[in-house]
Structure 1
Amino acid sequence: MILVPGGRGQLGHDLAALSPSVRPMSSAELDVTSVTAADLAGATAVINCAAYTAVDAAETDEARAFEVNAVGPGLLAEACASLGIPLIHVSTDYVFSGDGTQPYEPSDPVGPKSAYGRTKLEGERRVLEAGGWVVRTAWVYGVHGSNFVKTMAALESSRPSLSVVDDQLGSPTWSKHLAAGLLELASVLPDERLLHATNGGETTWFRFAQAIFEELGADPARVQPCTTADFPRPAPRPAYSVLSGAAWAAAGLRPLPHWRSALSDAFQAGVVAPRTGAAPLE
């Protein structure tokens, strides 16, 4: 049995859908900030999806973010180590500065610029110190829960046009493909403990939004580019979030498909519910 703390979100749903051996658990069922080995009885592995992901709120709530993103994974890693079972911990591109110009390798220097990134980086450190695996990913969306794809679909049906940031670069990642990769990792458990897993290729939020409009059958020209400075946020966003999959492939793991084909597959899988009786915007 593979226990998945934080398993009621989009990634946990996909993990459970892909394998009958997965048991997703909410924070009420398994609180990583107080977990002990007794809470993991019967598990053969743990994939940790529990996280404080409110990036902007973390700027003024860093103590709570630290509890969930750093203390929790550390306790989980210690409990797994005491039982001799593997832990795979999901992390983020926010551990990097975002100032890069080529895909980040797992070994590249880190330098988070946000509270969220700092707390996630400390969680990584504690998991790796206890012998677990860490998988960084980015720009995740899925059928379950709220995400960028669903937000763009909602805005497409309610606005004649919209502006989306075109100076942040990353790799949109369908949670189903990420879930499949994590399950493969759990079956292989390579020597390399720090890896990156995203869908292939790279794009900007603006071009991603245009692709979403294309999948909706809408005119992508209704999406206009803007800059990060046009929409200031409490937490700085990485300008460059592309993660290299070279170490993932070198570990014998299947590379995730290209982001654009993944988006088409996600629409076929119902990432956006079919519309019924909606009148097209003029």
Structure 2
Amino acid sequence: MSTAGGAPRALAVRSTPIPGLLVIDLPVHGDARGWFKENWQREKMLAAGLPDLGPVQNNISFNQAVGVTRGIHAEPWNKYISVATGRVFGAWVDLREGESFGTAFWHEITPEVAIYVPRGVGNAFQTLEAPAAYTYLVDDHWSAAAQAQYTFLNLADETAAVPWPIPLAQAELSAKDLAHPRLADVVPVPPRRTLVVGGTGQLGRALAERWSGRADVDVVGRAQLDVADPTSVAAFDFAPYGVIVNAAAHTAVDASEGPQGRAAAWATNVAGVGRLVEAARKHRARLVHVSSDYVYDGAAAVHREDEPVAPLGVYGQTKAAGDALVATLPGHLILRTSWVVGQGANFVRTMAALAGKGVDPSVVEDQVGRLTFADDLAAAIEHLLGAEGAEGIYHVSSGGEPLSWAGIAREVFAAMGHDPARVTPVATADYYAVQGRAEGDGTIAPRPRSSVLDLGRLEATGFTPRDQLEALRAYLASPGI
């Protein structure tokens, strides 16, 4: 620490052999009167590489004597450790599932040192200079239920082999700490679970299938969690989840233009999303939110993620509003997609059925975009969750040359062995005029003429979407089409 005329060390964040466990060098300013430090300074520490802890509780363990030893406790939250007075020897053992299970690290903690301890890493300390005020910030509130989730390791575990400066036989320990198990008997701390909301939709079903082999994923439908219903959300326990994937949405685009549909769209796509945002914020979960090309007006030939939103209709407005709410969360992912095709009713299945029935459809020619197959969208979500530094907005659709709806219909007819010339291309206005309706009349939603999404940001993460025609033919060849 600095004295009068000396310079304090610079703020720095250093890694350790335990993934996520960080050592923080703190500048301490001192003179003959004493010293001062910024023990927690969010802006500077985030810039230096510390995770955004978001502390909700500040605890102090005051230790009167040298040799007081506490631990080894793995807790269900992240914590930031330092000392206000005295000096301690800190020890940590990774008790999380994975390759680093059992890895140990130790470091002396003085006023110039702080430690960031991630959830599931066992924590212990021994006082070297007393009195010692051992302080820690945590990002969740203590409760008896939370304490029941602690995982313990014996301080004398031979595998961890912590070199306690004061032998444990001479230290002051609690009876409980003496009774903790050895590493071989410790049940590793599992990762936090993943929740898929909207599990009965096309994407929800694709995610359920993709993650069917994972024991840490829960897929819920509207019967288990209705985001539009405040009572349903309040009754749902979000505490176990570290990732929430929101595949739920009100997608009745035309119905959203009417009074009842408008209310339903806002209830799910905005108010419901807001409830998920607050649940994610409270429980420190990462939120993955699926959005739409309808947030754009379609004026640009190709839409980039940084294009200002300009939705034409109510559905697009609600999706844009939901995106804005999700963007308030750190580490969020917003996947804007277009023309989704999966299990259940969709345009491709409709065209395939018409082809087989001998019906020659008229299909709009002046709306252009790319299909997005639900399986590929699920794969992109999985990829982005595992991609280092991936956050913010990403466009996700199939690749290849854009096509109009009529062009896709012709491809469906051809793939099913029918003459694509049976599809008659028409303008959007003419298509609805036959029905006595028009875009924006309260029964038909205005649609972007171009739904083509730029995929460069997604591809830069290492994910290359399939060509839409390749994916379309594979889809049409699958059972049940």
- The alignment's TM-score, normalised by the length of structure 2, stands at 0.54
Query: For residues 126-171 of structure 1, what are the alpha-carbon distances to aligned partners after superposition, in whole Å with 9 as ceiling and x for unaligned?
Result: 00112321110000111x2110011111211223422111110001
- Which structure would you say has the larger RCO, counting Cα contacts within 8 Å and 6 or more residues apart? 1
1:195 aligns with 2:405: no
One-letter amino acid of the counterpart of residue 26, structure 1: G
One-letter amino acid of the counterpart of residue 73, structure 1: V
Query: Residue 238 of structure 1 aligns with which residue?
Result: 448
1:6 aligns with 2:201: no
Query: Residue 269 of structure 1 aligns with which residue?
Result: 478
Q: SS of 1:32's equivalent?
A: coil
Shift of 1:9: 1.2
One-letter amino acid of the counterpart of residue 450, structure 2: Y
Query: Residue 40 of structure 1 aligns with which residue?
Result: 238
Report the CA distance shift for 1:271/1:48 in structure 2 as closer, same or farther (over 3 A): farther
Query: Residue 374 of structure 2 aligns with which residue?
Result: 175
Query: For residues 159-207 of structure 1, what are the alpha-carbon distances to aligned partners after superposition, in whole Å with 9 as ceiling and x for unaligned?
Result: 3422111110001111111111111112226343111100012111011
Greater C-alpha Rg: 2
Does the aligned pair in 2 maintain the 1:5–1:48 contact within 8 Å? Answer: yes
Selected match of 1:18 from 197, 206, 210: 210
Shift of 1:231: 2.0
Q: SS of 1:44's equivalent?
A: strand
Selected match of 1:74 from 264, 270, 274: 274
Shift of 1:212: 0.8
Identify which range, 78-87 or 196-205, moves more after superposition. Answer: 78-87
Shift of 1:114: 0.4
Does the aligned pair in 1 maintain the 2:225–2:236 contact within 8 Å? Answer: no
Structure 1: runs of 5+ lacking an equivalent: 273-282
Selected match of 1:29 from 224, 227, 230: 224
Does the aligned pair in 2 maintain the 1:181–1:254 contact within 8 Å? Answer: yes
Q: Distance in 2 between matches of 1:170 and 1:116?
A: 18
Query: Which residues in structure 2 correspond to 1:1-282 (within 5 Å)?
Result: 1-20=193-212, 21=214, 22-33=217-228, 34=230, 35-36=233-234, 38-60=236-258, 61-101=261-301, 103-131=302-330, 132-142=332-342, 144-188=343-387, 190-201=389-400, 202-232=402-432, 233=439, 234-250=444-460, 252-270=461-479, 272=481
Does the aligned pair in 1 maintain the 2:362–2:431 contact within 8 Å? Answer: no
Q: Distance in 2 between matches of 1:191 and 1:219?
A: 44
Report the CA distance shift for 1:264/1:48 in structure 2 as closer, same or farther (over 3 A): same
Percent pairwise identity = 39
Structure 2: runs of 5+ lacking an equivalent: 1-192, 433-438
Q: Distance in 1 between matches of 2:218 and 2:358?
A: 40
Does the aligned pair in 1 maintain the 2:384–2:390 contact within 8 Å? Answer: no
Q: Distance in 2 between matches of 1:47 and 1:92?
A: 15
RMSD (Å), alpha carbons: 1.6
One-letter amino acid of the counterpart of residue 454, structure 2: S
Does the aligned pair in 2 maintain the 1:138–1:241 contact within 8 Å? Answer: yes
Q: SS of 2:336's equivalent?
A: strand
One-letter amino acid of the counterpart of residue 126, structure 1: L
Q: SS of 1:213's equivalent?
A: helix
Q: Distance in 2 between matches of 1:93 and 1:106?
A: 10
Q: Distance in 1 between matches of 2:266 and 2:389?
A: 28
Shift of 1:23: 2.3
Q: SS of 2:471's equivalent?
A: helix
Does the aligned pair in 2 maintain the 1:181–1:253 contact within 8 Å? Answer: no
Report the CA distance shift for 1:77/1:37 in structure 2 as closer, same or farther (over 3 A): farther
Q: Distance in 2 between matches of 1:215 and 1:57?
A: 32
Question: Which structure's residues are more often helix, by fraction?
Answer: 1
Q: Distance in 2 between matches of 1:190 and 1:207?
A: 37
Q: Distance in 1 between matches of 2:395 and 2:467?
A: 15
Identify which range, 88-97 or 174-183, moves more after superposition. Answer: 174-183
One-letter amino acid of the counterpart of residue 163, structure 1: S
